[in-house]
Structures are given as structure tokens and as C-alpha cells.
């Protein structure tokens, strides 16, 4: 063999077969070998110079060792972690394999462990050849992750944008940058600056300044992206959680199109369309096409930028195919509105050069039959790897605006900022049915999916592999509906199949079509080989309660798997696709790959109809060996999907940084060159999200890996998905639950470092101080985050735990809390009289003086003294301890005593109506008076528990961290209720929802739980047949307290209120932020949450929490009271009740 030869293909021998990779030349040298590509010599983009051509560069930079072993890190601190003795060969090396499967064991590099480095925010990176010898801080700015140092450009940028963006919306402190820099991916980059923009106009002014100073910009919406595309260590521009900004919309006509801004959540858009149909009595319900499982959390900006799809939308209903128009801001500040002829004409005139380059690119591709064919084939299945090259073949070159419009879709913020989009919506047919069909082997399930795709008009087919089914066994409803799940075979799988129809006849026809196709396939059905069953065993469920069980489990699969992972590891989610007829083989290859690499918890499931799999597994980055395992697995996975099965490395989650090194593997050199060209046409200076989609660093996917320190059992399972954020009342003010957990973990990591450096010590001190307010004080701790958390983490419990630890260090405070608890009757009396005095002061001094004095006291006392507002309640009237007994209190037909145990909460015993409430005598009564009136009209005898005047559920103590006092008061009340209800024989009503929730949570005897009711629930279940209802209001608003939402009684609110008013408008506020008295002590918290309250046109508002009602009134301009006020006004006793 000659010492130098040209080869047409770089090859590696695997299992006795030859695998082709890339055209290159091999040049003999000392190890490592260098692969020199055929695409030119050294070149640089984005400020980085590399050797070789792109192919050669990819292969040569693939090496993952280190020039020398060692380093100064110890795994806890920051620095190098020990690795291999020398760099691995750039050429993929043969590796041994016992698998007979073709391609098994395909390896890149060798078995040497890489050197890794931990940066100042804990992110772990493989150290490549270019960086291995670097010591200390980077001195010169390079537009590459980790090397964007301040050389004056950031200061100049801040100075200019400060002319129109106030400093209050610019964040450079260690808490906000770390928190806002957190997204759902497994990467960690810490922005130098976070800017909250409020309008398109601000973006128009900001981008040219960034271009002028060479400051890279990344736009962020909800941060639910999984591939690292919403991260930066430069400037993060945030349009989420900016109040009402970027949340405008216009529904057009019958709802068949809708214009929305990027800050709206996808699920919100569908609710807007549903409300439009209902309000206008329209025949067809519409929705947006994309339906990702995160639709109730992700925002339009991310849906558009990632070209997200989902379980039912497939390819045909993604944003690319349902887009009507958009507004996009380019890097020079130019706005193109594709719906406006004038804007289109102006852009064609002002950007002739850009347009000409796009047209030239399209013409070259359209005349290249081989490349055009490749593009069409790639986008026939789900594909979000690289740019939307299909735009260059789908539209004629004489209409370049249409091409540009589609190129923006899926570009992940690297070509422009989308400030508005108009969707052509799709029908949401009302008739649906779902079936959960078991198969003995995953291969059978995949083949059945192909049968359904090519032979039926089925709407959705989701696959559950054996690992997914294992998680389903913990769901009682699933096992009830599909008993075969329990104990199914080791390779069993299932398909969740959904059909839809405009009419019931259409639905029945589709179901029959599916049954016929599956029966004709001769595939086996059942839980395991040898236990085959008839297809009819797995019937279609028309009852949507049953279907919802199936789909809720499917939506929860990713977090269920992620939540079960080992502490200290992260949940990783890959997203691959292939032609459906190749799904079976690809799935088996991937299962085998995971087994060989030691990923015992890996699960392969997803959108089988589209050949789209989600690969979920846990991964630690705690040691170089763990990083090496991940790197090797990724190399092989990409080979299996892209090379062997001609699939998409990203079906719907976007390329990001995660798949940027593999774009050429999937697309080939020619298409990849065109993508680089496309990027430079729109953003030649690499200002817009550089390093995303296209990246010169073949190791970028194993750099800046996010650690997951095991900081607390309460939150270790957090997968940082961000689903919780939309329920958080402080999301626009300080931090969200995800961000609170992320910062808490970082503080824990810093505390865990032995021998901290001065820089680490300073950062820890600053973060801890800022976190006191941002993380702890402004957390409502209401637990609404748990309602949307897929792994059911209650961040409020973490904050309460932190508060409790703080109280443990303040024994005097604990003693005061115990004294108050032991003398609660006197405390309640004192507060009642104090409210009376404040009401007098309101009359004498006037609202302005009272607000000024209380505001000053609030600041001076460090938020211990509440800040007064005009809706602050007066003192409650004394409780009638001897309410009149009805004429009879026995059910006539059953002889059951009509008796109720009534627990007026301390808040309703202390707080009456507000002075500013409607002045009628009825409205000036207290809550307990209204509820006693309702009980009397319904013929109920009222019993009070013993010691009522000193009773308390314990919430006021628990929320402040006084656990002991809370438990004491809770136990006292429970014992009194047990006696009063005769061990739960009689129903117990607590008139304040949050207090009832606290009582239930603290019960020692669970049997009492089934006797406890809040007032609305009691009215619905016990009084509807005993009272005569009349509609006495035209339009009213209702706010269901967060505690009632958690107890699942929202429907009861709607039903009862709808019996009293013609129109009932929900507040759509997850939590008002009042949190007992926290909203009075931190009024900015309720102000932030309730800025989204929209009750226009309503005459009154109702709820079941006195403190919440106070805040709702203050921020809505209408009077909120207890719902019992409305019920009392709207009802009278039925004539037959007392006979």
C-alpha cells in the first residue's frame, strides 16, 4: 500500500462489512490522522478559523481526546477533568461487536475518554484540540460559544439600547441571567445580558444596534425547546413573561384564519378560537394545525421558529403548510409584512441584492433534479434538520416573497425575528374515537402503523414501546381499560389510534376502514407471543372520558420516564423520523443500540403514523466517562437514522446545537453548502442566534452540557420543561418555578464546591442575596405549578421548606408563632378590631393618606405590614352562634337528618365586606351570614365545631415556615371536626377554599376527607334540588381559587354560577398571587398576576376566598365577593322542602 493515495470514500469496517462515509483524502502522519476534505482549505465563519474543508473539518475535529491528561478540576469545582493521553484518530475506527445486526457497533473515534472542562456556571464541555492548551480566560472576542468576551461592544450596545429600553428591563445580575438563560434542553449557556422587549418597534431598533456592534442576539419565547436553540452566552432577548406584550390576536371571519403574536401560548390560541365559535354560534370549530404535546406551554414564537408539529398534525398541518402570512424583522431592522402588498413591494425594492441571491439559490436547486428530488423526499416525512430547503423547490422563482416567507419557518431565529403570524386554521371535528391496540412485538406495531398510513385515512397513531407500557401499569384507569398492559411480553408494544369525523357516520366509516386494514394485514394482536387475541378485543372508545385517559398517558410519557430517573442525571429527548415503512427496522436498531450502550431506561415511542420516534433516556454528565458514553451513542444513533434508514435526525424539535454537527451527515455536502449560503444571505455577520442549525464545531453537541445536581428530593426530578411557568403568578415579576429550581440548584452546586475561588464566593453571595426576594419572597407557594408539572413537583413546597429552615434559625420568631397559635382566639379578635379601626381611618383620612402611610410602613417593616387598598375589608360582623333551626331537618323520603357542620374560616370571621362594596344592606353582610341564610333556606340544621373562636386550619403558619404551629392548629381543628360530624357522618363545609385545601392536606384520618366540602361544591351536590334558582344577573365573572382548581371543582363553579346569571365569564387567572396576606405585603405580586385579568362587561365578580376577592376587586374595577352572595340573592326555599 502506498504511503499516499486518494480514496473516493472514507470507510470503516463494521461487522465484516464496509460502510461508506465521506469523500476525502488521507494523508499519512503521526497519530492522529488528518482527514483533508475536498471542499477547500482553511476558512472561517462567525469569527472562527478551522483547517481543511467542511467534510474534512467535520471528521478531523471529531476527535475527542486531549493532548495531555490531567487538569486542575476535581469534579466539583471548575476546570479540566482528567481524560485521555492523546487525541483520538479523526477517522472512525472499527470496533468489535457481537451483534449480527447490520451497522451495529459503528464507531467514531476510539475508546479513549475525553478531557472535559467545567465552566463558571457548572456547564460541562469536551475539550477539543483547538482549546486543550488554553489556560485562563479568553482574551479576544470570537463569535463562538464560550469565547464571546466583553471587549467594549456590550457596553456600547447597552448604552444605545438604554435610550429606548429602560434599565428595569435589562438584566445582568447572576440570578436573572442564570434563570432566564435556562430552557428545556440539556445545555447551559449563561447570557451576559437579558433584555425584555415589549414591541416589534423595540426589536426593529435593537437589531441594527446589535449588528453595528457585532453583538449576537438570541430571541426567546417560552423556552420549551429541547435542542439548545434558545440559549446564548451573549444577549438573550426575551418576549415571554413581559405582561400583555406580544399577546395580541385577531380572529378572522368564521375562525378559519387567525393572526397572533409570538407571546401567546399555542393552547391559548385554540381556546380563543373555541370562544369565538361559541360566542358567534358558528358551525365549525377550528384550531391551529401544529399540536405539540407542549401546546399548553409553548408559545407561537417557538412553534413557528421550530416548525413544530405534534401527535395529529403530521406534515400537512405544520406551520410551513398552514402559514398564511407573517411579519418578520430582519437583522438590519427592516420589517416585511407578507400580507401587505406595499410592504412586499418595498422589500423587493430595498433588498434587491438579498432577493436576487434567494432567487439564484432557488433556480440552482430547481434545475438540479437530484438535489430537488432529495429535498422533496426529505420533507415528505417530518424533518426539522437544517433549514426549510423545501421553500426553494415548492414555489416559483417569480414570487420570491413566498419563498422567503417559508424559509423563515423553522429557521430557529437565525434568519429573522417573527413578530406576527397568520395561520390558516384546521377543523376540529367533534366526533372522535380512540383505541389502544396491543401487539406481541414492537415490530408488529410498527408494521401496523405503516399499514394504517398507506391504506387508511386515520388521524393519529401513537406507538408505546415496552418501556412506555411499563410506566402505564401505574395508572389504574389505563389498566382498567386495557388489562393486557399488565404482564405483557418483553418486546410488546401498542398503538394508540384516533379517528375523527365531521359526522358520526364519517367516524364510523373511518373506524371500519381501520379495522379492515388491520385485519387484512394478518399481523398478530395481543400482549405477547402465544397469547394472540382478536382485534375486537381492543375496541374504539367513543366516550371521551376513556379516550382522555389514553391521551393523557401519552402526553405524560416523556415526563413520566424523565421523572423516574436517577438523581443527578438529566432527561434527554431525541426526536428522529424515517419513512413509516422503515420504522420497524429503525426501531429495532435503536433498541439494540440503547442496550449495548447501557441505557437501561431508554424508551422509544411517538408518532408512529409519521415514522417519528421520541427517544427518552436519562444521562449524567458527572464524569468524562458519562460524557463519552453519550457522545458514542449519539454518533451511532445518527448513523442509524440518517445513513442507514435515510431518516431525519430531528423530526419536529429543531436542529439547535444538538444536531448541528450532524446536518451534513443527513443532508450531504451540497445541500449543507447551500444552507451555509442561505444563512449568509440573511445574516452575513452572524448576529442572529449564531451556532444554531449551522455550526463549524463538530463537538458543539458535547459542549456546555447542563449539570443536574441532586439538591433536594423535593425538586430533583425537575426536567426544566417549563410547563409550570404559565400557571405562576410571579412569572412577569421575578422568577417562575422552573427558574426558582434552577437557581436553587446552582446555589447548591456552588455551596458544594470545596475551596471556592474568590470569584465563586462572590457569585454565591450575590445569588443568595438576590434569591431571597426573587426566589423566596415573591413566591406565592400556592402549588399551581404542580398542576401543570408533568412530574408533579410543587415548587411551593421547596420555598416553604426554605422558609421553615430560615425560621429554625430564628427561635424567637418561632416562639412568637407558637404564642399566636396558643392564643388564636385573642389574635383573631384583635385583627377584627384592627380592621374596624382601619375602616374608620379610611372614612376620616381618605384613601390617599391611608395608602401613603401603609405603603411607607410596608417598606420600613420589610413587607411585614400590609399595604392598604380601597378594597381592604371592614371587620366581619359577629358570628351567630345560635342560627335558627329550620322547621324540619330530616329528608322526607329517607329519614336522614339534614344537618351540616359549618366551619367559618378565621379569615371570614375576621374580614367582612369592603367599605366600597355595594352599599345595600344585603351586600354589607359577612360571608358567614350569607351561608347561614342558604343553609336555612335549604332546611339544614347547622352545627359548629367546638372551640370555633380559636380555630385555624394552620395555613397562615405553614406558608411562613412555622410548621410546628401549623401542625398544632390543624390537629386541633381535625379533632373538633371529627366530634362535630360524628366521625364524618355529616357533611362539613368550610367557607374558604384555600382553608379547606389546607385542612384536607393535613388530615391524620383520611376518612374525614370525604366529608369535607367548600361552599360551591356543597351547593352543587346537596342543595340544587332544595333551592329554587333564578337568574338575577346578566354577566358575572368568576375566579376559581387555585386551591379549588387543585381540588378539581371548576365545573361546580361554572354550573352553580350559570344557574344565577345569563353569562358567566371565567377570570382565566391560574392564581391571583394573593397567597393569604402575601399579596397585601407584596402588592406587586398580585399586580403582576392580575394584569392579565379581563372581565370587561361583567357587573360583578365572585370567588370563594376573601383575600383573593379583595385583590381581584382592586385590579378589575368590579366588586368581587363570595359566590354565596350570588347564590343567596338568586335562590329561595322550595315550597316542598319544609313539608
DSSP character string of 560-586 = HHHHTSPTT-EEEEEEEE--GGGHHHH
Q: In this structure, what are the phi and psi dihedrals at residue 593, rounded to the nearest 5 degrees?
A: -60, -45
Q: pLDDT tens digits, residue range 195-213?
A: 999 999 999 999 999 999 9
* 3-state helix, strand and coil shares in percent for the chain, rounded to the nearest 5: 40, 15, 45
Q: In this structure, what are the phi and psi dihedrals at residue 311, rounded to the nearest 5 degrees?
A: -80, -30
Phi-psi domain of 1076 (left: phi exceeds 0; alpha: psi -120 through 50; beta: other): left
CB-CB contact of 218 with 183 (8 Å):
no
Q: Which residues, listed in sequence order, are joined to residue 1105 by a DSSP beta bridge?
A: none
Dihedral of CA 763/769/770/774: which sign?
A: positive
Taking the CB of residue 558, how many other CB atoms lie within 10 A of it? 24
Pairwise CA distance, residues 996 & 970, whole Å: 11
Q: pLDDT tens digits, residue range 1010-1049?
A: 999 999 999 999 999 999 999 999 999 999 999 999 999 9
Q: At what angle do helices 369-378 and 352-366 cross, to 10 degrees?
A: 90
pLDDT at 897 (0 to 100): 83
Dihedral of CA 871/872/878/881: which sign?
A: positive
Contact partners, residue 420, CB within 8 Å, separation at least 6: 200, 259, 260, 261, 262, 326, 327, 337
| Residue that is written with C-alpha cell 467594549 in the block | 152
What is the distance of C-alpha 415 from the center of its chain? 25
CB-CB contact of 262 with 304 (8 Å):
yes
pLDDT at 1091 (0 to 100): 94
Residue 573: CA count within 13 A, CB half-sphere? 27
Q: How far is CA 351 from CA 335, 355, 694, in A?
A: 11, 6, 24
List the one residue out of 383, 426, 502 whose CA is nearest residue 269. 426
pLDDT at 1117 (0 to 100): 86
pLDDT at 843 (0 to 100): 81
224: cell is: 420549551
List the one residue out of 1072, 1124, 1125 whose CA is nearest residue 1095. 1072
- Bond into 747 cis (ω within 30): no
Residues in the chain predicted with pLDDT less than 50, given as ranges, are 1-78, 80-109, 892-893, 1137-1139
687: cell is: 448576529
Rg (CA), the chain: 32
Pairwise CA distance, residues 48 & 44, whole Å: 5
List the one residue out of 388, 401, 284, 298 whose CA is nearest residue 350. 401
3-state secondary structure of 117: strand
CB-CB contact of 404 with 358 (8 Å):
yes
3-state secondary structure of 419: strand
pLDDT at 134 (0 to 100): 62
Q: Is pTM beyond 0.85 here?
A: yes
Pairwise CA distance, residues 358 & 353, whole Å: 9
- Between CA 379 and CA 386, with CA 381 as vertex, the angle to 5 degrees is 50
Q: What is the arrangement of strands in the sheet containing 323-329, beginning at the earlier edge strand?
A: 249-252, 257-260, 417-424, 323-329, 335-337
pLDDT at 894 (0 to 100): 55
Burial class, 920, CB count within 10 angstroms (exposed 0-12 / middle 13-18 / buried 19+): exposed
pLDDT at 75 (0 to 100): 37
| Residue that is written with C-alpha cell 453548502 in the block | 673
Taking the CB of residue 343, how many other CB atoms lie within 10 A of it? 16
Contact partners, residue 655, CB within 8 Å, separation at least 6: 227, 229, 384, 385, 386, 412, 649, 663, 692, 693
Pairwise CA distance, residues 683 & 680, whole Å: 5
Pairwise CA distance, residues 818 & 856, whole Å: 29
Beta strands 911-914 and 988-990, pairing class: unpaired
Q: In this structure, what are the phi and psi dihedrals at residue 897, rounded to the nearest 5 degrees?
A: -60, 130
Pairwise CA distance, residues 753 & 761, whole Å: 10
Taking the CB of residue 1028, how many other CB atoms lie within 10 A of it? 12
Pairwise CA distance, residues 821 & 143, whole Å: 60
pLDDT at 1055 (0 to 100): 96
Q: pLDDT tens digits, residue range 1105-1138?
A: 999 999 999 999 899 999 999 999 999 998 764 4
Pairwise CA distance, residues 775 & 789, whole Å: 18
pLDDT at 953 (0 to 100): 93
Taking the CB of residue 933, how many other CB atoms lie within 10 A of it? 18
746: cell is: 446552582
pLDDT at 44 (0 to 100): 33
CB-CB contact of 806 with 767 (8 Å):
no
Pairwise CA distance, residues 997 & 786, whole Å: 14
Amino acid at each position: 500500500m502506498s504511503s499516499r493515495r486518494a480514496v473516493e470514500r472514507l470507510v470503516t469496517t463494521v461487522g465484516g462489512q464496509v460502510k461508506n462515509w465521506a469523500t476525502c483524502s488521507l494523508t499519512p502522519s503521526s497519530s492522529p490522522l488528518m482527514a483533508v476534505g475536498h471542499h477547500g482549505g482553511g476558512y472561517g465563519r462567525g469569527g472562527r478559523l478551522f483547517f481543511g474543508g467542511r467534510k474534512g473539518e467535520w471528521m478531523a475535529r471529531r476527535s475527542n481526546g486531549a493532548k495531555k491528561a490531567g487538569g486542575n478540576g476535581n469534579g466539583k469545582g471548575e476546570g479540566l477533568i482528567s481524560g485521555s493521553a492523546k487525541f483520538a484518530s479523526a477517522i472512525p475506527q472499527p470496533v468489535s461487536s457481537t451483534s449480527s445486526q447490520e451497522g451495529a457497533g459503528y464507531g467514531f473515534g476510539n475508546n479513549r475518554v475525553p478531557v472535559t472542562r467545567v465552566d463558571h456556571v457548572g456547564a460541562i464541555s469536551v475539550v477539543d484540540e483547538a482549546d486543550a492548551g488554553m489556560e485562563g480566560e479568553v482574551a479576544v472576542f470570537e463569535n463562538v460559544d464560550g469565547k464571546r468576551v466583553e471587549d467594549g461592544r456590550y457596553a456600547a450596545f447597552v448604552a444605545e439600547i438604554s435610550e429606548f429600553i429602560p434599565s428595569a428591563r435589562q438584566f445582568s445580575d447572576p440570578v436573572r441571567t442564570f434563570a432566564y438563560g435556562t430552557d428545556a434542553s440539556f445545555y447551559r449557556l449563561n447570557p451576559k445580558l437579558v433584555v425584555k422587549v415589549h414591541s416589534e418597534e423595540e426589536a426593529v431598533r435593537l437589531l441594527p444596534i446589535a449588528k453595528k456592534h457585532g453583538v449576537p442576539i438570541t430571541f426567546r419565547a417560552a423556552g420549551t425547546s429541547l435542542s439548545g436553540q434558545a440559549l446564548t452566552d451573549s444577549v438573550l432577548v426575551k418576549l415571554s413573561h413581559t405582561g400583555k406584550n406580544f399577546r395580541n390576536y385577531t380572529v378572522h371571519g368564521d375562525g378559519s384564519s387567525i393572526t397572533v403574536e409570538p407571546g401567546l401560548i399555542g393552547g391559548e390560541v385554540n381556546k380563543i378560537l373555541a370562544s369565538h365559535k361559541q360566542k358567534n354560534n358558528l358551525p365549525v370549530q377550528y384550531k391551529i394545525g401544529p399540536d405539540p404535546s407542549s401546546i399548553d406551554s409553548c408559545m407561537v414564537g417557538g412553534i413557528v421558529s421550530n416548525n413544530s408539529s405534534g401527535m395529529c398534525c403530521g406534515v400537512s398541518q405544520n406551520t410551513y403548510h398552514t402559514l398564511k402570512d407573517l411579519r418578520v424583522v430582519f437583522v438590519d431592522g427592516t420589517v416585511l409584512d407578507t400580507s401587505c402588498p406595499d410592504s412586499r413591494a418595498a422589500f423587493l425594492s430595498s433588498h434587491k441584492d438579498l432577493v436576487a441571491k434567494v432567487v439564484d439559490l432557488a433556480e440552482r436547486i430547481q434545475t438540479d433534479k437530484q438535489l430537488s428530488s432529495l429535498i422533496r423526499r426529505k420533507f415528505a416525512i417530518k424533518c426539522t434538520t437544517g433549514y426549510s430547503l423545501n421553500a426553494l423547490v415548492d414555489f416559483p422563482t417569480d414570487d420570491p416573497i413566498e419563498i422567503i416567507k417559508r424559509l423563515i419557518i423553522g429557521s430557529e431565529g437565525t434568519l429573522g425575528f417573527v413578530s406576527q403570524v397568520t395561520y390558516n386554521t384546521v377543523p376540529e371535528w367533534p366526533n372522535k374515537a380512540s383505541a389502544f391496540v396491543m401487539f406481541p412485538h414492537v415490530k408488529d406495531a410498527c408494521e401496523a402503523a405503516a399499514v394504517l398510513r398507506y391504506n387508511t385515512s386515520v388521524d393519529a397513531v401513537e406507538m408505546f414501546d415496552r418501556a412506555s407500557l411499563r410506566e402505564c401499569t401505574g395508572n389504574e384507569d389505563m389498566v382498567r381499560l386495557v388489562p393486557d398492559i399488565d404482564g405483557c411480553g418483553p418486546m410488546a408494544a401498542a398503538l394508540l389510534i384516533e379517528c375523527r369525523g365531521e359526522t358520526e357516520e364519517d367516524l364510523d366509516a373511518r373506524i371500519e376502514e381501520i379495522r379492515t386494514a388491520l385485519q387484512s394485514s394478518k399481523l398478530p394482536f395481543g400482549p405477547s407471543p402465544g397469547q394472540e387475541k382478536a382485534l375486537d378485543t381492543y375496541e374504539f372508545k367513543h366516550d371521551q372520558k376513556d379516550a382522555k385517559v389514553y391521551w393523557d398517558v401519552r402526553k405524560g410519557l416523556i415526563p413520566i420516564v424523565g421523572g423516574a430517573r436517577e438523581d443527578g442525571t438529566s432527561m434527554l429527548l431525541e426526536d428522529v423520523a424515517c419513512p413509516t415503512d422503515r420504522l420497524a427496522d429503525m426501531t429495532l436498531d435503536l433498541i439494540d443500540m440503547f442496550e449495548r450502550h447501557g441505557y437501561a431506561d431508554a424508551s422509544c415511542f411517538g408518532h408512529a403514523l409519521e415514522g417519528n420516534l421520541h427517544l427518552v433516556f436519562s444521562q449524567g454528565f458527572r464524569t468524562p466517562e458519562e460524557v463519552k458514553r453519550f457522545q458514542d451513542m449519539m454518533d451511532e444513533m445518527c448513523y442509524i437514522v440518517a445513513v442507514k434508514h435515510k431518516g431525519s435526525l430531528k423530526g419536529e424539535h429543531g436542529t439547535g446545537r444538538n444536531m448541528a454537527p450532524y446536518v451534513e451527515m443527513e443532508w450531504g455536502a451540497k445541500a449543507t453548502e447551500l444552507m451555509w449560503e442561505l444563512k449568509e444571505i440573511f445574516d452575513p455577520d452572524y448576529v442572529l442566534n449564531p451556532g444554531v442549525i449551522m455550526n463549524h464545531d463538530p463537538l458543539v453537541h458535547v459542549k456546555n452540557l447542563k449539570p443536574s445536581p441532586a439538591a433536594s428530593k423535593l425538586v430533583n426530578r425537575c426536567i426544566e420543561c417549563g410547563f409550570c411557568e404559565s400557571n405562576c403568578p410571579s412569572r412577569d415579576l421575578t422568577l417562575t418555578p422552573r427558574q426558582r429550581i434552577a437557581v436553587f440548584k446552582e446555589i447548591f452546586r456552588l455551596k458544594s464546591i470545596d475551596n471556592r475561588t474568590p470569584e465563586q464566593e462572590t457569585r454565591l453571595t450575590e445569588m443568595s442575596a438576590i434569591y431571597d426576594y426573587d426566589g423566596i419572597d415573591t413566591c406565592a407557594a400556592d402549588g399551581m405549578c404542580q398542576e401543570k408539572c408533568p412530574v408533579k413537583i410543587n415548587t411551593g413546597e421547596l420555598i416553604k421548606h426554605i422558609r421553615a429552615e430560615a425560621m429554625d434559625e430564628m427561635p424567637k420568631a418561632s416562639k412568637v408563632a407558637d404564642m399566636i397559635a396558643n392564643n388564636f382566639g385573642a389574635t383573631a379578635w384583635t385583627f377584627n378590631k384592627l380592621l374596624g379601626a382601619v375602616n374608620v381611618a379610611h372614612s376620616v383620612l381618605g384613601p390617599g393618606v391611608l395608602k401613603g402611610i401603609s405603603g411607607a410602613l410596608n417598606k420600613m417593616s420589610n413587607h411585614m405590614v400590609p399595604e392598604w387598598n380601597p378594597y381592604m375589608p371592614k371587620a366581619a360582623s359577629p358570628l351567630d352562634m345560635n342560627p335558627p333551626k329550620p322547621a324540619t331537618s330530616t329528608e322526607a323520603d329517607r329519614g336522614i337528618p339534614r344537618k351540616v357542620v359549618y366551619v367559618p374560616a378565621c379569615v371570614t370571621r375576621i374580614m367582612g365586606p369592603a367599605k366600597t362594596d355595594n352599599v345595600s344592606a344585603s351586600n354589607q353582610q359577612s360571608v358567614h351570614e350569607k351561608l347561614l341564610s342558604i343553609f336555612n333556606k335549604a332546611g339544614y340544621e347547622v352545627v359548629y365545631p367546638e372551640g370555633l373562636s380559636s380555630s385555624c386550619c394552620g395555613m397562615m403558619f405553614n406558608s411562613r415556615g412555622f410548621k410546628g404551629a401549623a401542625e398544632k392548629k390543624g390537629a386541633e381543628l381535625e379533632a373538633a371536626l371529627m366530634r362535630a360530624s360524628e366521625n364524618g357522618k355529616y357533611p362539613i363545609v368550610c367557607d374558604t377554599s384555600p382553608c379547606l385545601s389546607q385542612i384536607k392536606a393535613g388530615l391524620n384520618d383520611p376518612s374525614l376527607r370525604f366529608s369535607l366540602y367548600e361552599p360551591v361544591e356543597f351547593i352543587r351536590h346537596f342543595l340544587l334540588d332544595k333551592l329554587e334558582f333564578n337568574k338575577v344577573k346578566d354577566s358575572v365573572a368568576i375566579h376559581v381559587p387555585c386551591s379549588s382548581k387543585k381540588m378539581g371543582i371548576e365545573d361546580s363553579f361554572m354550573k352553580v354560577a350559570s344557574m344565577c346569571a345569563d353569562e358567566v365569564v371565567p377570570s382565566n387567572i391560574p392564581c391571583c398571587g394573593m397567597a393569604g396576606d402575601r399579596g397585601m405585603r407584596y402588592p406587586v405580586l398580585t399586580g403582576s398576576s392580575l394584569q392579565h385579568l379581563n372581565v370587561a362587561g361583567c357587573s360583578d365578580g365572585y370567588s370563594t376566598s376573601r383575600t383573593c376577592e379583595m385583590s381581584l376587586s382592586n385590579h378589575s374595577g368590579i366588586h368581587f365577593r363570595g359566590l354565596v352572595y350570588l347564590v343567596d340573592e338568586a335562590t329561595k326555599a322550595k315550597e316542598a322542602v319544609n313539608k
